């Protein structure tokens, strides 16, 4: 096709008559023309595209409608970076999925530079078409000098976009924020267990906000470590990791209450190594009523993975996440108070028996260890200490013994306070012989300690008697096992009394 002289009006009519989306972008990155089909295919019909910067418009208005937005925004970034350059024979294309009126479609997007004689600035034509479509008239336009001659007439005046970028950001953030708030509210009604709530919150962050790699860090009871309490994606394998106070970006955010967008974790001296695939992260404080409860972290495997809009969006929902977290933590504290002994912090009698019932049921269904040993332990001469050194000294002894038992057994074992001077230990998967050896060693260790009362007087550290029963040999129900252990405890105490006599 030969060279044609064409006016701006004729070029607009020609391009609007093509069944392919067309955008003309100048070297400053501004959209100077977009035909009707472009708006329809990109899902932004009704928006005024002309006068807006190509990169901003595509990321903020178009990308939320695109299913494979990561690949799409990557293509936009490449084209955006190439726009200011000249004299390059560049062509960028990509294939993206999007959804319109409930139907999935595949778009082919091509960016082609167009040079005009006597000018060094690179001009670009963006074509948008369905993969199933082709259009011969488009090829005629591209292969002719229509664009070169017609471009001269395009005029848009000073940069006064009809779409305010801040309004676009606010609309996107408000839309996603409302969806997240709605989902979190639903979860708060159904879930009060802290661990379950954390998992569901991250699921919401992943599905509604498209941050598939994320985690929540909470301070431990002493406030000396941040514990990764839940994680998805790259962080899932790191659940339970503890970050000491003052170390890492998460602690910085926890202490300063300010979000951090880290484009390259390797060059930030505060970074505490986690998943090796992580390249960029955003840290957001979870704060409610001036109290910081933890930190939400989102990650990407590529550098510069997050924009200021990501930070705004995460900050917008962080307060609602913190509110849900506060409710769950309060429920957890109430539940813990109902299940634990206030003096020692151990499980109380009722919660220990419930745990034993669960162990037995798992064993019966072959879902847990088939052997369960229980130790019932009675502290010797505690009344003597209370009568001669005071009840505060007696409490000091009980706390010491509780701590010794907790340290001496496995994390999966259950240690509880059964009564005034009695303790109970549940040992799934442990034979009675091994249970007896272990408790004897623990008693020996706690006897070596030196305890003093509030006045500074040394308190004698008492020993203890114990009885051991085992499921299923000594009973198939918790009450039978406790009774069997109690009988053996009484026998042990009687024997010790006889030895003293």
pLDDT in tens, 90-101: 555 666 666 655
Identify the residue with better confidence: 41 or 440: 440
- Asked if residue 456 belongs to a domain, the reply is yes
Q: How many helices (H) and strands (E) does the chain have?
A: 15, 17
User: Looking at residue 368, what is its pLDDT?
Assistant: 84
Residue 63 gets which letter from DSSP?
G
At residue 126, the 3 state secondary structure works out as: strand
The residue from 305, 338, 371 where one domain ends is 338
> Which residue is associated with the tokens 């840290």?
283
- Asked if residue 2 belongs to a domain, the reply is no
Is the pLDDT score of 439 beyond 90?
A: yes
Instruction: Indicate if the alpha-carbon torsion angle 246, 250, 256, 257 is positive or negative.
Output: negative
Q: What is the mean pLDDT of residues 312-316?
A: 87
- Are 299 and 281 in contact, with CB atoms under 8 Å apart? yes
- Rounded Cα distance, 45 and 18, in Å: 16
Q: What is the pLDDT of residues 405-430, one digit of tens each?
A: 999 998 889 999 998 999 999 999 99
Within this chain, do residues 310 and 390 fall inside the same structural domain, yes or no?
no
Please, which residues have CB within 8 angstroms of residue 382's CB and are 6 or more apart in sequence? Answer: 394, 397, 398, 420, 421, 462
- Asked if residue 274 belongs to a domain, the reply is yes
> How would you list the strands of the sheet with 225-232, edge to edge?
242-244, 225-232, 214-219, 291-300, 280-288, 260-262
Q: What is the pLDDT of residues 276-310, one digit of tens each?
A: 999 999 999 999 888 999 999 999 999 999 988 88
Within this chain, do residues 41 and 129 fall inside the same structural domain, yes or no?
yes
Quick one: which H or E segment has residue 465? strand 464-471
Within this chain, do residues 225 and 327 fall inside the same structural domain, yes or no?
yes
Identify the residue with better confidence: 398 or 73: 398
Within this chain, do residues 491 and 465 fall inside the same structural domain, yes or no?
yes
What the block records as the tokens of 143 is 């292969």
Q: How many structural domains does the chain have?
A: 3
At residue 415, the 3 state secondary structure works out as: strand
- Rounded Cα distance, 409 and 207, in Å: 41
Identify the residue with better confidence: 25 or 471: 471
- Asked if residue 22 belongs to a domain, the reply is yes
DSSP string, 152-180: GG----S---SS-HHHHHHHHHHHHHHHH
CATH number of the domain enclosing 221: 3.30.450.40
Strands 458-459 and 464-471, how do they pair? unpaired
Identify the band that residue 134 occupies on the pLDDT scale cut at 50, 70 and 90: very low
The residue from 288, 305, 338 where one domain ends is 338
- Rounded Cα distance, 296 and 308, in Å: 16
Q: Which of 31-40, 219-228, 387-396, 438-447 has the lowest mean pLDDT?
A: 31-40
Mean pLDDT taken over the chain: 80
Within this chain, do residues 245 and 197 fall inside the same structural domain, yes or no?
yes
Is the pLDDT score of 2 beyond 60?
A: no
Beta bridge partners of 374: 426, 469
Domain range for 309: 168-338
Identify the residue with better confidence: 48 or 498: 48
Q: What is the mean pLDDT of residues 84-95?
A: 54
- Asked if residue 1 belongs to a domain, the reply is no
């Amino acid at each position: 096709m030969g060279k044609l002289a064409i006016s701006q009006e004729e070029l607009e009519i020609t391009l609007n008559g093509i069944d392919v989306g067309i955008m003309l972008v100048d070297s400053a990155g501004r959209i100077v023309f977009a035909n009707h089909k472009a708006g329809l295919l990109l899902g932004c019909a009704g928006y005024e595209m002309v006068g807006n910067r190509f990169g901003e418009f595509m990321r903020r208005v178009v990308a939320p409608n695109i299913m494979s937005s990561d690949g799409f925004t990557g293509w936009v970034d490449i084209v955006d970076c190439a726009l200011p350059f000249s004299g390059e024979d560049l062509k960028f294309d990509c294939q993206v999925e999007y959804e319109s009126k409930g139907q999935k479609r595949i778009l082919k997007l091509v960016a082609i530079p167009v040079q005009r004689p006597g000018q060094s600035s690179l001009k670009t034509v963006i074509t948008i078409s369905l993969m199933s479509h082709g259009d011969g008239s488009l090829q005629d336009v591209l292969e002719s000098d229509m664009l070169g001659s017609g471009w001269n007439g395009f005029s848009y005046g000073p940069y006064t976009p009809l779409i305010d970028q801040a309004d676009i950001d606010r609309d996107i953030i408000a839309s996603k924020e409302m969806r997240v708030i709605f989902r979190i509210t639903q979860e708060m009604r159904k879930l009060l267990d802290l661990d379950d709530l954390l998992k569901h919150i991250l699921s919401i962050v992943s599905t509604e906000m498209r941050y598939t790699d994320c985690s929540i860090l909470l301070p431990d009871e002493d406030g000396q470590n941040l514990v990764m309490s839940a994680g998805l994606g790259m962080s899932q394998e790191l659940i339970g990791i503890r970050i000491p106070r003052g170390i890492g970006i998460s602690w910085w955010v926890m202490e300063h209450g300010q979000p951090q967008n880290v484009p390259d974790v390797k060059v930030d001296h505060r970074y505490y190594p986690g998943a090796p695939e992580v390249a960029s992260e955003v840290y957001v404080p979870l704060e409610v009523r001036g109290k910081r409860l933890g930190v939400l972290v989102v990650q990407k495997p590529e550098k510069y993975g997050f924009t200021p809009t990501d930070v705004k969006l995460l900050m917008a929902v962080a307060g609602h996440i913190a509110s849900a977290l506060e409710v769950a933590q309060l429920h957890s504290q109430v539940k813990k108070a109902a299940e634990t002994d206030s003096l020692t912090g151990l499980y109380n009698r009722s919660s220990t028996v419930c745990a034993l019932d669960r162990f037995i049921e798992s064993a019966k269904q072959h879902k847990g260890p088939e052997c369960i040993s229980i130790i019932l332990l009675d502290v010797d001469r505690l009344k003597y200490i209370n009568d001669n050194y005071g009840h505060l000294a007696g409490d000091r002894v009980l706390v010491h013994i509780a701590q010794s038992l907790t340290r001496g057994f496995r994390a999966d074992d259950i240690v509880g306070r059964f009564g005034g001077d009695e303790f109970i230990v549940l040992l799934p998967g442990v034979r009675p012989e091994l249970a007896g050896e272990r408790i004897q060693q623990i008693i020996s260790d706690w006897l070596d300690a030196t305890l003093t009362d509030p006045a500074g007087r040394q308190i004698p550290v008492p020993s203890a008697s114990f009885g051991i029963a085992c499921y299923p040999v000594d009973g198939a129900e918790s009450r039978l096992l406790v009774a069997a252990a109690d009988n053996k405890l009484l026998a042990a105490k009687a024997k010790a009394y006889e030895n003293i006599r």
